[in-house]
Amino acid sequence: MSLQPVLRIEPIAESLSLKARAYKALKAAIMDLNIYAADAELRLDERDLSLRFGISRTPLREALAQLEQEGLVRIVPRRGIFIVRKTKAEILDMITVWAALESMAARLAASEATDKELARLQKLVVFSGDEAAANTGEYSDANIRFHQTIIGLGRNSLIGEITDSLFLHVRAIRQRTIFEADRARRSIADHTEIVKALAARDAESAERLVREHTMKLREHVERHVDLD
Amino acid sequence: MSLQPVLRIEPIAESLSLKARAYKALKAAIMDLNIYAADAELRLDERDLSLRFGISRTPLREALAQLEQEGLVRIVPRRGIFIVRKTKAEILDMITVWAALESMAARLAASEATDKELARLQKLVVFSGDEAAANTGEYSDANIRFHQTIIGLGRNSLIGEITDSLFLHVRAIRQRTIFEADRARRSIADHTEIVKALAARDAESAERLVREHTMKLREHVERHVDLD
DNA sequence: CGCTGGTGTATGGCATGCCACATACCACGG
DNA sequence: CCGTGGTATGTGGCATGCCATACACCAGCG
């Protein structure tokens, strides 16, 4: 154990490339925008954006190309760049994929997670239970953290990456559906069951419960959410 | 029914952008290359490539940026562009994700697929069974078609897209492991069981069988394949 | 002989400007 | 008044060239 005063060195300047910064800024801007509002502005203009960001079109185009691959925008030659509205069918497919991945993560977590980690997960459920009655807005965040935690406990970072990219698109829907008190209450009941199964190291049940929980959301969206 | 002679009009020229063509060409080149060979060339050069393709650096850079996001290359400023070798842990994670997605597709297929489609799937298994004894090379293709067919029967195109992108990386491994007669034989036995479960519309079993089948591959790779 | 400091070169990042093509608008003819 | 053809304008695609920086090489000093 050295007690010498240590010169703290940080990797300097880590200033991201303009391309990376444009990418982040655009992504944040698109996510901020409620793209499902009827009057949302769906058209982007390269030159206008490059002026407003104060960079040239080259890095901006590269950022846009990345966003296109991620499915957030569509670039049509000589027509324009359009923010993509996902169809209801695509949203439903995403939720299904989410169910497949999170349930696999739960299965893995049943054997991988430590008791300590599971205790923290438990606390998350209790907290959101307290909060939910009073304030469903807070619940939405706790709900998201719960699911992200399970995914993390699976120790498969690819699952985390894929669900993150899906989350962008599903987020708007989730927030729209969560503001129904009964759904929140039942959701917490499901979460409680899931934690129990994990604590019992019951991979089969954990997998099934998580899958069914998410597929309930899918069902709900299919029936009650109107897009397009 | 018009008997008039019809002027056949094809959408003309469908000539892809240079960026798209560069993307395809690079991807194919990288896949052709056995990147896990010790002496594989891992460094690319923008200017050299743009000369060889006969295009300028701009569309080439955009293609490379896409490949980077897909995880096939890594671009390091002022150092170079490197073809990525996946670590063994990453490959294992990919196979796990594959298992989660294909098993979900099987679950969906149990209710979605028509009898006719299942009959075609059945034929695929029989065919690969015949072929396998004589020629494991052919079997590899039939094996891939079998799995892709199941994924298609799930009617969730997102699952197809994600597994396609994983396939790039897993392919090399799959081919390396399939040339073991016993694995091929047991694989066909698994496939037979899977088709049976689907024909019986037993979603639970179909899901489980597909998952276990893929997780066997994962196990095999973890034990016997040496990367890095 | 080994290490340090300086310089040249290679490479990716970025800015700029031109081009092809799709669209919109308008003029002209029926 | 309607339809057709021509033209102007806007937009993304692409080529080109400069710039900053990391690395390699070399000279000079200890």
Q: Given pLDDT bands bounded at 50, 70 and 90, which one contains residue A141?
A: confident
Q: Is the CB of B42 under 7 A from strand C?
A: no
CB contact under 8 A, B101 and A99: no
How many helices and strands (H and E) does chain B possess? 9, 3
Distance, CA of B176 to CA of B225 (rounded, Å): 9
pLDDT recorded at residue A108: 98
**Listed ranges A156-160, A174-178, B165-169; the one with the highest mean pLDDT:** A156-160
Distance, CA of A153 to CA of A155 (rounded, Å): 5
pLDDT recorded at residue A175: 66
Residues in chain A, overall count: 228
Distance, CA of A120 to CA of B80 (rounded, Å): 43
The amino acid at residue B28 is A
Q: Given pLDDT bands bounded at 50, 70 and 90, which one contains residue A95?
A: very high
A63-72, A100-109, A151-160, B8-17: least confident range: B8-17
- Write out pLDDT tens, residues A15-65: 678 999 999 999 999 888 766 665 666 789 999 999 999 999 999 999 999
| Percentage of chain A exceeding pLDDT 90 | 57
Distances in Å between the alpha carbon of B77 and those of A17, B46, B51, B85?
Answer: 9, 12, 20, 19
Choose the closest CB to B104 out of A96, A156, A157: A96
Query: With contacts defined as CB-CB under 8 Å, which chain A residues touch B96?
Result: 104, 108, 156, 158-159
Average pLDDT, rounded, for chain A: 86
Classified as helix, coil or strand, B179 is: coil
* Of A90, A99, A91, residue with least CA distance to A212: A99
CB contact under 8 A, B94 and A158: yes
Q: What angle, 0 to 180 degrees and rounded to 10, lies between the N-to-C axes of helices B157-178 and B181-199? A: 150
pLDDT over threshold 70, residue A162: yes
Residue A34 near residue A172 (C-beta atoms within 8 A): yes
A-B interface: how many C-beta pairs under 8 angstroms?
66
Residuewise pLDDT in 10s, chain B (228 residues): 545 555 555 555 556 789 999 999 999 988 887 666 655 667 899 999 999 999 999 999 999 999 998 889 999 988 889 998 888 999 999 999 999 999 999 999 999 999 999 999 999 988 776 765 556 566 677 888 999 999 999 999 999 999 999 988 887 776 666 666 677 888 899 999 999 999 999 999 999 999 999 999 999 999 988 766
Distance, CA of A212 to CA of A190 (rounded, Å): 9
**Which residues of A make CB contacts under 8 Å with B?**
17, 19, 58, 61-62, 65-66, 69-70, 77, 90, 93-94, 96-97, 99-101, 103-104, 108, 156-159, 162
pLDDT recorded at residue B37: 61
Classified as helix, coil or strand, A153 is: helix
Distance, CA of B47 to CA of B159 (rounded, Å): 37
Distance, CA of A77 to CA of A71 (rounded, Å): 16
pLDDT recorded at residue A42: 76
Which nucleotide lies closest to B54 by the C1' atom and the CA atom?
D15
pLDDT over threshold 60, residue A133: no
pLDDT over threshold 80, residue A114: yes
For the segment A146-166, the average pLDDT, to the nearest whole number, is 96
pLDDT over threshold 70, residue A122: yes
Please name the residues in contact with A191: beta carbons below 8 A apart, sequence gap of 6 or more.
A125, A128, A146, A213
pLDDT recorded at residue A9: 53
Residue B113 near residue B152 (C-beta atoms within 8 A): no
For residue B73, the cross-strand partners are: B83
pLDDT recorded at residue B75: 92
Separation in Å: D24 C1' and A157 CA: 38
Separation in Å: D5 C1' and A40 CA: 36
pLDDT recorded at residue A179: 60
- The chain A residue lying nearest B204, using CA atoms, is A208
Query: With contacts defined as CB-CB under 8 Å, which chain B residues touch A103?
Result: 100
